[in-house]
Amino acid sequence: GAAEVAAAGSAVKREAEEAVTWPEGTPAPYLVIARAFAAMESTTKRLAKDNIMAEMFRGILRCSPGDVVAAAYLTMGKIAPEHEGTELNVGGSIISTAIREATGVSRQKLHALYNELGDPGDVAEACRHTQTMLIQPAPLTVRGVFKSLHSMAQQKGAGATARRRQTILHLLRSCRDCETRYLVRTLVQNLRVGANWRSVIGSLARAVLLESEANRPAKARLDAAATAAVEAFHVCPSLDILVAAMLEPGGVENLDTRISLTPGVPLKPMLASITEGVADAIQQLQGQHFLAEYKYDGIRAQIHLHKNGDVRIFSRNCEERTSSFPDVADAVRSAAAGGCKEVVLDAELVAVDREKANELKSFQELSTRARGAITSLEVKVPVCVFAFDCLYVDGESLLKQPLQERRKRLAAALPSLRPGFVCLAQSHAGTEALIREHLQDALAAGTEGLMLKALTGPSATYQPSKRSNSWLKIKRDYCEELRDSLDLVPIGAWHGNGRKVGWYSPFLLAAWDPDAEEFQTVCRCMSGFSDAFYAQARPGMMHPHAMLISFHRIEGPRPYYSTNERPSVWFEPTEVWELRGADLTLSAVHKAAFGLIHPTRGVSLRFPRFVRLRDDKRPEEASTPEVIRCHILPHRLIIVFML
């Protein structure tokens, strides 16, 4: 127990301070990454973490440049781009079994350590000190670990689980020093060292620039290189492509001329900012030409039509959904006939009722559509593609073009529109006198409201992955309650009373802080749930099908849960729920946005109610403290210290 934990902690601290060297031209040891992780974990300073990563990448660039891509993926805690959908498919039981086999600890001892430490990597590190090996295997290398992880992801069919376990067992037996801790955290996809994709790419860009010049570049150039690399990754989120470009002659200079949107590689979509209502939105766009566009209640989709006629459909988080929407692929091919051969569209997929003149249906209707691979004949919920932006057409990226030009190119690219199947998003000229009328029309048509978008000027370009003030959303309830919904993760619950006896109620919801790498609680929620929901939300129900709600109970709170609440049960962070509420309050109990608004208080959502399951989002895409901060206006923050 305590002795193993203390010994493991001291060892990690000591090992983090020791340099790792290896002969030039040989594979980079995995220990160089593990030591960097240990050093990063020992500091809370963002700049220090970035410098540690930059120095790690410099060493790999110098001695093992062929390992840079693998090292970058591992530092992000990934093994492939998001859009490839490569999953490790490693469950906790496989990892636990491998740890027991590698170290000889009993099931009871492992369970006790897990209850004490909470983190699988820390548990494995504590167990490693009981491990004895007659013959020490060859040290792990960056490329070897990366290859093994890919091999596990590709295992299919009979015996796949056993083969994965054997691979993990071999890796664990080969670990040295602090490698065990971070290998296991990589397997459970939760490194907890303070590295996100922006910081990894920025640090890599700095390392490339530092290694390419004899004299140390000025800080301004290093920062510019980091910014340029992050912007390039926004446009083409593939480490393989980005690293290859950075290692070309020219390095990190002029990346924007050498990396562009590539059909088949989805980019993170541009997002709209929230407003208080019509008056606020118009004030923000004052003096600009803008359009008012219907805000459809569906699924955001990025649709790539290739020259050979293939169509690929990606969700807002870049997951491929092509096999779930064969009807959309067929409709887009038909709409583009005679207009273009290759195009990338930003669109919304909305459920429609074919028997009622393609009347728009709610997102809830669309969420009942099968998520797996289906054929066009198996489609039960028909959809219409509402295309609202054109990002690329016939070899030309349009990201730098203003929206007015992109809309023209969109219309030209899709000349064969078919009502109810593929349409252009309904839009109107933006004038203050007509906005309220357009909003009423939009709501009457069954949409969520309006989007106001700048048509011309520098701010009217397409900005991947950014929440822009040149796109503003107006919904029906912006003047009635919280300006927008929050996407939160259920991490716990209490046992219900009264008519909710036998069910979970209320639930504890949390936001995700990507910098602190922790879930910070926002509220308890017990409103908005239907009886059908509660019927599925009974203790012990793990995989109810109708609403896709699943609660994976755990023994206690994860180390990366930040809250003063103590619910009856704790859950793994597996889902995202959309919630609405009246307003936001300062809270001594909840930790979301702690220190951003008040130095000693977090922020809580008052009168929250469940709206829907966001099965298009992962827990790490939940609302962040910064998003919560943006919801708050000084005159609307309700100060409540006694909760």
Higher per-residue pLDDT: 119 or 227: 227
DSSP letter at 17 equals: T
Mapped onto helix, strand or coil, the DSSP state of residue 426 is coil
Q: What is the pLDDT of residue 629?
A: 84
| Average pLDDT along the chain | 87
Q: In the predicted model, is pLDDT for residue 18 greater than 70?
A: no
For range 478-484, the mean pLDDT: 52
Q: What is the pLDDT of residue 132?
A: 67
Give residue 453's pLDDT band: very low, low, confident or very high (50, 70, 90): very high
H-run or E-run covering 627: helix 625-631
Q: In sequence order, which residues have a C-beta less than 8 Å from that of residue 147 and are 6 or more positions away? A: none
pLDDT digits (tens, 9 = 90+) for 298-338: 999 999 999 999 999 999 989 999 999 999 999 999 999 99
Preceding omega of 81 cis (within 30 degrees of 0): no
Where helices occur in 64-159 by DSSP H, the ranges are 68-76, 92-103, 107-117, 120-128, 142-154
Q: What is the pLDDT of residue 189?
A: 87
Q: In the predicted model, is pLDDT for residue 7 greater than 80?
A: no
For range 383-411, the mean pLDDT: 97
Q: What is the pLDDT of residue 438?
A: 85
- 67 burial (CB, 10 Å; 0-12 / 13-18 / 19+) is buried
CB contact at 8 A, 328 and 574: no
Q: In the predicted model, is pLDDT for residue 8 greater than 60?
A: no
Mapped onto helix, strand or coil, the DSSP state of residue 326 is helix
For range 92-102, the mean pLDDT: 91
| Measured distance CA(332)–CA(423) in Å, rounded | 10
H-run or E-run covering 218: none
| Measured distance CA(528)–CA(488) in Å, rounded | 14
User: Cα–Cα distances in Å, from 94 out to 167, 342, 574?
Assistant: 11, 44, 19
467-475/271-274 β-pairing = parallel
Name the catalytic one among 78, 109, 268, 295.
Answer: 295
Q: In the predicted model, is pLDDT for residue 133 greater than 90?
A: no
pLDDT cut 90: percent of the chain above it: 59
Mapped onto helix, strand or coil, the DSSP state of residue 587 is strand
| Measured distance CA(218)–CA(53) in Å, rounded | 18
User: Cα–Cα distances in Å, from 120 out to 79, 95, 114, 190?
Assistant: 19, 9, 7, 9
| Measured distance CA(25)–CA(31) in Å, rounded | 17
Q: What is the pLDDT of residue 564?
A: 93
- Other Cβ atoms closer than 10 A to 134: 4
For residues 184-221, one letter each, b for 16 or more C-beta atoms within 10 angstroms of the residue's C-beta and e for the rest, the string is bbbbbebbbbbbbbbbbbbbbbbbbbbbbeeeeeeeee
The DSSP result for 435-486, as a single string, is HHHHHHHHHHTT-SEEEEEE-SSGGGS--TT-EEEEEEEEETTTTTS-SS-E
Q: Give residue 59's Cα distance to chain centre.
A: 29
- Other Cβ atoms closer than 10 A to 173: 17
Q: In the predicted model, is pLDDT for residue 369 greater than 60?
A: yes
Q: What is the pLDDT of residue 344?
A: 98
CB contact at 8 A, 155 and 103: no
pLDDT digits (tens, 9 = 90+) for 575-604: 999 998 877 888 989 999 998 888 888 999
Q: What is the pLDDT of residue 642?
A: 30
Q: What is the pLDDT of residue 479?
A: 45
H-run or E-run covering 105: none
Q: In sequence order, which residues have a C-beta less than 8 Å from that of residue 180 and are 6 or more positions away? A: 121, 124, 125, 127, 128, 172
User: Cα–Cα distances in Å, from 189 out to 33, 160, 185, 223, 594?
Assistant: 15, 20, 6, 29, 25
| Measured distance CA(545)–CA(547) in Å, rounded | 6
Angle between helices 160-174 and 92-103 (to 10 degrees): 50
Q: In the predicted model, is pLDDT for residue 641 greater than 50?
A: no
Closest CA to 469 of 275, 291, 235: 275
| Measured distance CA(518)–CA(511) in Å, rounded | 8
Mapped onto helix, strand or coil, the DSSP state of residue 553 is strand
Q: In the predicted model, is pLDDT for residue 355 greater than 70?
A: yes
Q: Give residue 516's Cα distance to chain centre.
A: 15
Q: What is the pLDDT of residue 253?
A: 84
**Amino acid (1-letter code) at residue 224:** A
> Which neighbouring-strand residues pair with 312?
304
Give residue 623's pLDDT band: very low, low, confident or very high (50, 70, 90): very high
The DSSP result for 159-207, as a single string, is THHHHHHHHHHHHHHH--TTHHHHHHHHHTT---SS--HHHHHHHHHHH
Closest CA to 182 of 88, 75, 61, 99: 75
Mapped onto helix, strand or coil, the DSSP state of residue 425 is coil
| Measured distance CA(273)–CA(88) in Å, rounded | 35
The winner for highest mean pLDDT among 48-62, 273-287, 445-459 is 48-62
pLDDT digits (tens, 9 = 90+) for 23-42: 999 999 999 999 999 999 99
**Amino acid (1-letter code) at residue 118:** G
Higher per-residue pLDDT: 34 or 480: 34
Q: In the predicted model, is pLDDT for residue 15 greater than 50?
A: no
The DSSP result for 238-284, as a single string, is -HHHHHHHHTSTTTTTTHHHH----TTS--PPPEEEE-SSHHHHHHH
Q: Is 295 a catalytic residue?
A: yes
pLDDT digits (tens, 9 = 90+) for 515-574: 888 999 999 999 888 877 766 665 544 333 333 345 678 888 888 899 999 999 999 898
Give residue 634's pLDDT band: very low, low, confident or very high (50, 70, 90): very low
Token reading at 252? 């990190």
Q: What is the pLDDT of residue 545?
A: 31
Q: In the predicted model, is pLDDT for residue 489 greater than 80?
A: yes
The DSSP result for 21-85, as a single string, is ---TTSPPBHHHHHHHHHHHHT---HHHHHHHHHHHHHHHHHH-GGGHHHHHHHHHT-SS-GGGT
| Measured distance CA(541)–CA(535) in Å, rounded | 9
